[in-house]
Amino acid sequence: MKLSEVCVKNYKGLRDVTVPLSQFACVIGHNNAGKSTLLQSLILFIEGKKLTPSHYYDTNQEIIVAVTITDVSEDDLQLVVNEDHRERLRAGLTDSSLKLVRRYGIDGSSKLRWKVAVPKDERFQTASIDALLKGKKPSTSFAEEVEGVYPELSGKLGARPNQSHVRELISELVRSLPAEDMLVDETELPTGYDASVRALLPEPIYIPAVKDFSDDIKTKESTSFGKIIGILLNAIAPELSEADEAFKLLNKKLNILLLPNGTTSDDRLDAVQRIESMVRSLVREHFPAVDIELQIPPPEIKTILSSARILVDDGVKGELEAKGDGLRRSVAFAILRGIAQLKRDPSFNPQVKKTNAGFLLLFEEPELYLHPKAQRVLFDALRVISETDQVLVSTHSPLFFSHRCTETFIKMVKTQGEVGQKPFGQALQVDLSKLDDKASFQLLSFELNDYAFFSRTIVLVEGDTDHLVFPHMAKVLNPTWCVDREDISICRVHGKGNIPRYTKFLKSLQVRVVVLADLDCLLEGFDRLGGSEACSKLRNQLLARIDKVLAKEIEEGDFGEDAEELRQQLIERGTADLAISNLSQLAQRKIISMSTSPIKKGQWDDLIDKFNRVLSGEGTFEDLKRSGDAFFDKQIAKNRQLVLERGDDPETERLKHSVLISLRESDIFLLSRGSIEKYLPSHISGRDKTSKALTFCETVCERDDILSLCDEVPTNAEGGVQNELECLFSRIFTNAQQSTVA
C-alpha cells in the first residue's frame, strides 16, 4: 500500500496543486515556492489538526487535501481491528485503491470523507437510507413504509423487521447493481470510521528545516525525533516479551478489562477499588446519578522506547536539545542510517513492521550541515528506507537525485496571479519514465540538476570552450552581466544533437532556455532548434542561395583527375538504365563536394571501388547509395558552411542575418562567424581547446579587447547594428532580469 497522489487546495500558498507520489519522491524549487507546505499538507491530511485563518489561502473557502491510496492488500486491511469497518472499507476499494478527502471548514475543523462508487438512484444512497430508518422500530407499518420505497424487498422483510435487517437487505440490493448504475462520488465516512481509516495510513515523521527543528528535537513519542528513535528501538521489542507480559499483568491490577466476549473483568488491587469507591461516593453526594470509573494508563513497550533520551557529551554532557543545530541534525542523520542498516540486516525481525501501516518520512533539506560525501551516504540511507516506507524530501541539493532511485520529481514554482491576487505555488511534474537509462542519466547528471532545478534561466552551449568563455566575455563587457548574480546558468549539452531534448526537458520545468550555439546549426539540426515558421522560410531561402553560389563555382571549378574521370564515365553510361542515371546524380553531388572541400583519400577510394563494382555488375546501386549518401551529405554541408562563413556573397549575408535576427526572437543565438574558437585572438595558445579558453579568460580582460573580437551585425529589419557579442549578451541578460522580476 502506498500514497500515490495528493491534491491540495487553498492551503497556505497552494491554491490548487495535484502531485504524484512514489516510494521515493523529491520536491525542489526556490525558497517560498511551497515545498514545505506540500510536505505539511500530508501531515494535515493524516492527523486532521485544527487550523487557524492564517493557514487558508482564501479564508472564505474550504481547505481540501485529497489522497489516493493504491495497492491496498489484504494484509493492509487486517490492520483495521473492527471487522464490520474492515468489510465496509474493502467494499469501498476500486481496483485495490482508496480515495480519501479531508475537508477543512472555515472554522478550522475538519472531516474525513471518501470517494466511493455510489448508486445513481438516490433511494440507495446513504443519506436516503439513514433518513428512512432513523428512529424506526420493528412494526408492520415500518415494513410497509420500506416496501413503498423499495418494492424490490416485497416479501423479504417479514412482519416486523428491525433497522439492522432492513439495512442489510438494502445493502444486498446495492451490491447487486450493475456498474452502469453506479458513480464515483465523495461522501461522508460512516460514523466511527475515522479511527479505522487512520489504521491504514502511515505514521508521518516530519523532519523540518533547522529553523523549526529545535522545537521538534525533544525525544517524546509525539515528536518526529521521538518517532524515528522509536523505529530504531523497535528492533529490540521482540526481546522484551517478558516485560510486555508484566505490563499486561500490571494493567490487570490497575484497570477493569473488557474481554473479547463483551463482558468485563475486575481484578484490580483493593487499594485502587477503594480510591475509586471513595471518589464515587463523594461525587454522588451532589450528583446521585453519576458513576465514576478510575482508569490508569498502563505502560507500553512502544511508549517507553519512544520516550528514550539522547545524552551527548561534547565536553559538556547534556540533553541533545541543548546542543547546536549541526549536531542535532547529525544525530537525526545517524538514526536514519541506523534504520537503513537494520533493514539490510537479515537478522532484523520484520514482524515489528507488520503491526502497523509503516511510516511516511517527510524530510526537509536533508543536505543541511552535511558535506557532499555525507549527503551521498544519507541519500543511500533514504533509498534503503524507501524500499519499505515512503520517503518525500524537499531539497536544494542535486546529490539527492538519481535516475534509478528517485521515481518522482516535483518542482514547485511561485506564480503571480492576476492583479490584486496573491501569488500561489504550482507543482510541475518531471516525468522520466519514458526516457531510456542513458537519457535519464544525462538529464539528471549533477551539472544539469544543479542548473535545471535551481536556475531561472539556462544557457545551453555545446562544449567546454563555450562554457568557459561566454560568462567571462559577458562580465568583461558589462560587470552587471554576471551569471551568478542574475540567476543564469551555462550548461554544456556536449553536442548540438542534444539541444532539443534538453530544451524540452527544461521548458517543462518552466525554466527560460537560451540556446547559444555554432553557426552550423543553420545547416544541421535546424528543425529541432525551435525557431518560428517564418524563420524556417527564411532559412530555406538562405540554403537555396548558398546552393546557387556553389553551383556557379562548380561550373567554373577544376574537379581534379579522379572527379573528371568519374564524370566522363557517367556521361558515357548516363542513359544505360535508371540505376546508372541515379548514380550519375549521386556522383554529381560528389563532384560538387570536391569543388570546395578536401576529401579523405580512404573514403574517396572506397566510394570509387563501390562505383566500379556497380559498373561491372558485381555491386548494387543500393549498397553504393547507402555508403555514399551520408558521406556526400556531410561534404555538401561543409561546403555550405564555408560559403556561410566566408561572407563574400552579399545576398547570402543578408539572408543569413535575417535568419539570425529571427532566431533571437526565440532565444536562439548563433555565432555568425561559426564557432567560438574563431573569435579568439590568434596569439592565444594552448595544447587544446580548453587550455586556450583558460588562457583567453586569464589574459583578455578589457572591454575594448572583447569588442574587437567581432564586427557589428544587423539587429533588426530596420537597419540597426550592434557589436555581435554585445548584442547577444544584452538580449540574454535583459530578458533574464525581466524573467526574474516576473
Quick one: average pLDDT of 304-331? 76
- At 441 the three-state DSSP class reads helix
pLDDT exceeds cutoff 90 at 680: yes
Are 516 and 547 contained in the same domain? no
Report if residue 1 sits inside a domain: no
Are 584 and 641 contained in the same domain? yes
Which cell numbers in the block locate residue 564?
573528371
pLDDT exceeds cutoff 90 at 467: yes
Number of domains in the chain: 2
Helices (H), 33-137: 35-47, 74-77, 83-91, 126-133
Task: Pick the more confident residue, 629 or 641.
Answer: 641
Cβ–Cβ under 8 Å, residues 229 and 306: yes
Are 557 and 630 contained in the same domain? yes
Task: Pick the more confident residue, 615 or 427.
Answer: 427
Mean pLDDT is lowest, of 95-109, 389-403, 464-478, 680-694, for: 389-403
Among 177, 36, 32, 76, CA closest to 118: 177
Task: Pick the more confident residue, 665 or 313.
Answer: 665
Distance CA 84, CA 176 (A): 19
Mean pLDDT is lowest, of 163-177, 302-316, 332-346, 561-575, for: 561-575
Report if residue 408 sits inside a domain: no
pLDDT for 538: 95
- For residue 512, list its beta bridge partners: 457
Distance CA 643, CA 431 (A): 42
The residue ranges of DSSP E strands in 272-383, in sequence order, are 311-313, 317-319, 359-364
Cβ–Cβ under 8 Å, residues 490 and 459: yes
Report if residue 575 sits inside a domain: yes
Percentage of residues of the chain with pLDDT beyond 70: 80
Distance CA 98, CA 717 (A): 61
Are 684 and 640 contained in the same domain? no
- The residue out of 579, 612, 646 marking a domain boundary is 646
Are 701 and 740 contained in the same domain? yes
Report if residue 273 sits inside a domain: no
**Enclosing H/E stretch for 225:** helix 224-233
pLDDT exceeds cutoff 90 at 18: yes
Instruction: Show the domain range for 636.
Output: 541-646
Residue with cell 555581435: 724
Taking 3-state DSSP, the helix, strand and coil percentages for the chain, each rounded to the nearest 5, stand at: 50, 15, 30
Distance CA 349, CA 237 (A): 9
Report if residue 344 sits inside a domain: no
- The residue out of 595, 613, 646 marking a domain boundary is 646
Cβ–Cβ under 8 Å, residues 679 and 468: no
- The residue out of 612, 646, 680 marking a domain boundary is 646
Q: Give pLDDT tens digits for 22-78.
A: 999 989 888 889 999 999 999 999 999 999 999 999 999 999 999 999 999 998 998
Q: Hey, what amino acid is at 533?
A: E
Which cell numbers in the block locate residue 304?
517507553
Are 526 and 670 contained in the same domain? yes
Quick one: average pLDDT of 344-370? 73
Paired sense of beta strands 317-319 and 182-188, if any: unpaired
Cβ–Cβ under 8 Å, residues 310 and 293: no
Task: Pick the more confident residue, 169 or 338.
Answer: 169
Are 600 and 680 contained in the same domain? no
Report if residue 394 sits inside a domain: no
**Phi, psi for 515 (deg, rounded to 5):** -105, 125
Q: Give pLDDT tens digits for 727-742.
A: 999 999 987 655 554 4
Are 640 and 558 contained in the same domain? yes
Are 632 and 484 contained in the same domain? no
Distance CA 669, CA 662 (A): 10
Among 324, 299, 298, 295, CA closest to 312: 324
Cβ–Cβ under 8 Å, residues 513 and 503: yes
Distance CA 407, CA 387 (A): 12
Distance CA 234, CA 536 (A): 66
**Phi, psi for 98 (deg, rounded to 5):** -135, 130
Distance CA 22, CA 6 (A): 11
CA 657 to each of CA 150, 542, 554, 716: distance values in angstroms, whole numbers, following the listed order: 81, 10, 25, 9
Are 545 and 640 contained in the same domain? yes
Report if residue 391 sits inside a domain: no
**Enclosing H/E stretch for 606:** helix 601-615
Q: Hey, what amino acid is at 531?
A: G
Please provide the average confidence, as pLDDT, over all residues in the chain: 82
Are 505 and 550 contained in the same domain? no
Report if residue 225 sits inside a domain: no
Q: Give pLDDT tens digits for 415-436.
A: 887 777 889 999 988 766 566 5
Please enumerate in sequence order all residues whose Cβ is within 8 A of that of 288, keeping only pairs 6 or more positions apart, or say none: none
Cβ–Cβ under 8 Å, residues 286 and 280: no
Q: Give pLDDT tens digits for 1-14.
A: 899 999 999 999 99
Are 691 and 723 contained in the same domain? yes
Distance CA 133, CA 167 (A): 8
